[in-house]
């Protein structure tokens, strides 16, 4: 079984350049919503696959938009031929903003469906992530080829390569799948190359680029109220607003002490204040929106509402500092964010984790600033889209002004149709406990489109193999995905 993992949600903040062993300042990570298929528990089937799984390298064009360039880079992919029979289809799990791992082609519901349909299973590594690096470093100029168009064309060329050079079957049918942003890429690749792809399963695909994603905080707040209770929601609300009031009253040193910040909050700098509150919000999200969501929320709420705390603020500070028990202080200041994300060496942690690359993608095409620009959430009023836009501008050398950012986000929706694309032969699945679902397709728009919003599921939870632990809605959705893919493969074209 796969257990979906949320890798540090939303924007960016500091996790300090040095490791905790050499730097006692334990930083708070401001990451991004990047859900990769995590490794499941060991099983006999993994051992059985050893003779069939193969790591490969494909010479990929560095630029698909420059006809005068023939520069190549090695793009990694991994394949599993265990289930393949001549004449069978290709099942491609699309790479996203993470490092490629072998279990992508060995575990999960998509692999199970490949076995049922005698498919050749493949997973690719997205350009600029893992070891598929098209340029010598991650300078701003070198990141210009990190783009939806380039990534989709990478996938199209890989499909052609597998058909003609690996399987020697130019008529092999192709089913692609992905989760989160890789689900988006799977969708967009069929939009651009419908003749190559016969069907798409997009789990939790985020399609509507957004300049201010306030719905995210509203949804998370609702989950906290639903599973943690009104007392917990109220404690969180009061904790954030008490800290805001103290900073406004010139008493930020009280907040500094409670939260053990490494660098005192500059109360006269609105962006520094926003960075601090975003750090708290990010920790709440990161520690709740993952497997066992209900219990995660209850665990947090037990600390927030414990009778030992004399106020909601001390309860919130106790919970945050408790997430980093070995840290002497927490790096939650604006300059730490900027310095970290200006690193350009591929060997730096910010690139190994994919955070700078993913931040660039969001700054230049996708957006999704998570904000508190709504009164229907408990995270205060100091997290705005301006923080995200200003970070984009400072990290990437000033050219990404707010006007440029908004223009690029709108362009993405114009090119790809946002969450109302004219697409067919796509099965969209979302969890009802996934605050990113509002960026995806959640209603059937056209014939030969399918949508399931799975009650009680989190982001990407339907990637796991069918199990006795599945509740009725989750199992039914997995079975419908399988039945639909079988029909696509049998369809006359």
pLDDT digits (tens, 9 = 90+) for 323-369: 999 889 999 999 988 999 999 999 999 999 999 999 999 999 999 99
Domain termination site, one of 348, 367, 399 = 399
Other CB atoms closer than 10 Å to residue 364's CB: what's the count?
22
Strand partners, 55: 78
Residues 288 and 433 in one domain: no
pLDDT at 20 over 80: no
**What does the pLDDT look like over 106-135, one tens digit per residue?**
999 999 999 999 999 999 999 999 999 999
The verdict on 379 and 311 lying in the same domain is yes
Q: By C-alpha distance, which of 138, 146, 158 is closest to 63?
A: 146
Of 9-23, 197-211, 400-414, where does mean pLDDT reach its minimum?
A: 9-23
Instruction: Please state, as a whole number, how many other Cβ atoms lie within 10 Å of the Cβ of residue 226.
Output: 13
Q: In the chain, how many domains are there? A: 2
Beta bridge partners of 53: 80
- Bigger pLDDT: 349 or 68? 349
In a domain, 32, yes or no: no
Q: What is the pLDDT of residue 67?
A: 81
Q: What pLDDT, on the 0 to 100 scale, is given for residue 69?
A: 83
Beta-carbon contacts of 195 under 8 Å, excluding residues fewer than 6 positions away, are: none
Q: Are residues 270 and 376 in the same domain?
A: yes
104 plus 196 within the same structural domain: yes
Domain-located, residue 22: no
User: Does residue 318 share a domain with residue 176?
Assistant: no
The answer as to whether 40 is a domain residue is: no
Shared-domain flag, residues 269 and 366? yes
Query: Does residue 170 share a domain with residue 224?
Result: no
Q: Does 267 share its domain with 307?
A: yes
**81 occurs within a structural domain:** yes
pLDDT, mean of residues 470-491: 97
244 in the same domain as 133: no
At residue 25, does pLDDT exceed 90? no
Where residue 365 falls (left for φ over 0; alpha for ψ -120 to 50; beta otherwise) is: alpha
Task: Assess if residue 16 is contained within a domain.
Answer: no
> CA 362, 97, 299 angle in degrees (round to 5)?
90
Domain that holds residue 60: 53-208+418-490
Q: What is the CATH number of the domain that holds 480?
A: 3.40.50.1820
Q: Are residues 312 and 346 in the same domain?
A: yes
Neighbour-count burial of 444, counting CB atoms closer than 10 A to its CB (0-12 exposed, 13-18 middle, 19+ buried): exposed
Whole-angstrom distance, CA of residue 372 vs CA of residue 172 = 48
Residues 199 and 218 placed together within one structural domain of the fold: no
At residue 227, the 3 state secondary structure works out as helix
Considering the domain boundaries, does residue 46 fall inside one? no
Same domain (yes/no): 125, 155: yes
């Amino acid at each position: 079984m796969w257990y979906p993992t949320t890798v540090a949600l939303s924007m960016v903040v500091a996790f300090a350049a040095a490791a905790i062993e050499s730097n006692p300042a334990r930083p708070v990570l401001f990451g991004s919503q990047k859900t990769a298929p995590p490794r499941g528990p060991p099983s006999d089937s993994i051992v059985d696959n050893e003779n069939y799984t193969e790591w490969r390298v494909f010479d990929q064009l560095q630029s698909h938009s420059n006809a005068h360039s023939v520069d190549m880079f090695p793009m990694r992919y991994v394949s599993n031929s265990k289930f393949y029979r001549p004449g069978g289809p290709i099942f491609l799990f699309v790479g996203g903003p993470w490092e490629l791992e072998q279990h992508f082609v060995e575990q999960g519901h998509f692999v199970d469906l490949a076995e049922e349909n005698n498919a050749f299973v493949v997973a690719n590594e997205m350009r600029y992530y893992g070891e598929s690096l098209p340029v010598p470093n991650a300078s701003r100029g070198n990141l210009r080829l990190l783009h939806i168009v380039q990534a989709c064309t990478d996938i199209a060329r890989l499909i052609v390569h597998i058909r003609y050079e690996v399987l020697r079957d130019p008529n092999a049918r192709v089913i692609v799948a992905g989760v989160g942003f890789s689900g988006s890429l799977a969708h967009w690749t069929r939009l651009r190359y419908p003749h190559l792809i016969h069907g798409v399963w997009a789990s939790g695909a985020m399609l509507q680029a957004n300049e201010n994603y306030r719905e995210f905080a509203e949804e998370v707040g609702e989950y906290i109220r639903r599973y943690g209770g009104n007392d917990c929601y109220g404690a969180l609300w009061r904790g954030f607003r008490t800290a805001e009031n103290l900073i406004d009253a010139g008493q930020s040193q009280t907040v500094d002490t409670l939260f053990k910040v490494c660098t005192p909050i500059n109360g006269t700098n609105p962006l520094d204040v926003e960075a601090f509150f975003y750090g708290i919000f990010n920790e709440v999200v990161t520690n709740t929106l993952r497997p066992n969501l209900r219990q995660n929320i209850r665990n947090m709420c037990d600390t927030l509402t414990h009778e030992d705390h004399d106020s909601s603020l001390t309860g919130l500070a106790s919970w945050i500092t408790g997430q980093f028990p070995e840290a002497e202080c927490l790096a939650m200041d604006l300059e730490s964010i900027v310095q970290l994300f200006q690193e350009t060496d591929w060997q730096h942690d910010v690139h190994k984790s994919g955070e700078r690359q993913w931040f660039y993608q969001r700054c230049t095409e996708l957006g999704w600033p998570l904000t508190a620009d709504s009164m229907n959430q408990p995270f205060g009023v100091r997290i705005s889209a301006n923080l995200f836009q200003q970070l984009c501008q400072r990290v990437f050398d000033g050219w990404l002004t707010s006007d440029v950012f908004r223009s690029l986000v709108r362009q993405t929706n114009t090119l790809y149709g946002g969450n109302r694309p004219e697409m067919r032969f796509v099965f969209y699945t979302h969890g009802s406990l996934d605050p990113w679902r509002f960026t995806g397709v959640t209603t059937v728009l056209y014939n030969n489109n399918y949508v399931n919003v799975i009650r009680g599921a989190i982001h990407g939870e339907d990637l796991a193999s069918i199990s006795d632990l599945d509740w009725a809605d989750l199992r039914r959705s997995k079975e419908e995905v399988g039945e639909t893919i079988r029909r696509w493969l049998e369809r006359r074209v």
